Amino acid sequence: MHSKWIRIIMIVLMSLFPFFSYSLTADAASSTFVTKGSTTSKVVALTFDDGSDGGNITKILSILKSNNVKATFFLTGAGANNHPQLIKNIATATPTHQIGNHSYTHPDFTKLTAAQMTSELSKTETLIKSLTGRTTKPIFRAPFGASNSAVLAAVGNAGYTKTIQWNIDTTDWKGISSTAILARVVPNVVPGSIVLMHTGVGAPGTPVALPSMISQLKAKGYKFVTISELLQLPPSGSKTYTVKSGDTLYKIANLYNVSVSALAKANNITNYNLINVGQVLVIPGTTPPPATVTYTVKAGDTLYSIATKYGVTVTALASANKITNVNLISVGQVLVIPK
């Protein structure tokens, strides 16, 4: 009897709300698996995966700066916890590098549930945002490069529209020499190549190989770009909207006071009637305010320790959060970190 009434209710709902049946079956857009850029231009993306130690970050940033080369760093939550200042250094370095999500604990995503994958991504995103004020979206790199359709669906649903693999693996994590790294990269780079390297002390050959790698590729006419530049993705500062059940392009355009044609053009949409639930649309002509850096108070924290962590004064931190008693903060309290 119970299941009979559930079926009757479902039929009534679908008859009253036609979109209801659609929402039950519509899938969010899966993340696109990318191994290289589709281009004939001589551009290459240098990418660095950051693990728990990040021992070579300072050297790598220095080399990139001295050669005016942009790169993309895929960050882990574990790494951000272990070396938060180095993560900040990546985010504020010159030239401007891109950051992406590489999970929190570096597990094999093909062995996780969708909920576990989402948790890994969201925890890392929250931590990186609290440190840098920047998002890791829309790019994700799977730990160990392990991916399948279930992984792509889950990470796409979490807002990571591109899962970034590579077409050149330096295997630097094996501790190979700089000469061996160069031999794997320089002769094999083609337009649109994505090169995989690592930031840890377990890859000592990378900072040694990097200056020569850059100079040799420049001599071949290559320019260095971020992943977003390589794939011509919208800037991370652009405002986006994730399509929901019942949405139309007209409705979304009206919501943001832009024309339907401008919205369609910004997202390469040729059929105004065809948008998908979970699709992430760029809103033309909009830029959100800079992200606010926040910190969630943990057991053992003091206002002084938090202020020191972020390089601000206790007075400024207290003022920004309207705290009158600097000795009174609560676990779980979210503090705004003053600029």
CB 54 within 8 Å of CB 198: no
**Token couple for 88:** 């900040």
- Amino acid residing at 61: L
Does residue 48 contact residue 96 with C-beta atoms inside 8 Å? no
Q: Is 198 a catalytic residue?
A: yes
Coil, strand, or helix at residue 182?
helix
Gap between the Cα atoms of 141 and 119, Å rounded: 15
Catalytic residue among 27, 49, 108, 247: 49
Distance CA 31, CA 117 (A): 13
Please say whether the beta carbons of 170 and 185 come within 8 A.
yes
Rg for the chain (alpha carbons), in Å? 23
Active site residue 49: yes
Nearest one of 163, 159, 156 to 129, comparing CA atoms: 159
Rounded distance between C-alpha atoms, residue 206 and residue 52, angstroms: 17
Letter for the amino acid at 209? A
Check the CA dihedral 194-199-200-201 and report its sign: positive
Q: Please name the residue that has the structure tokens 């929250």.
A: 126
Amino acid at 148: N
Element (H or E) spanning 139, and its range?
strand 139-140
**Can you read off the two tokens belonging to residue 150?**
């279930």
Which one of the listed residues 83, 97, 102, 198 is annotated catalytic? 198
- d(CA 143, CA 163) in angstroms, rounded, equals 11
Catalytic amino acids?
49, 198
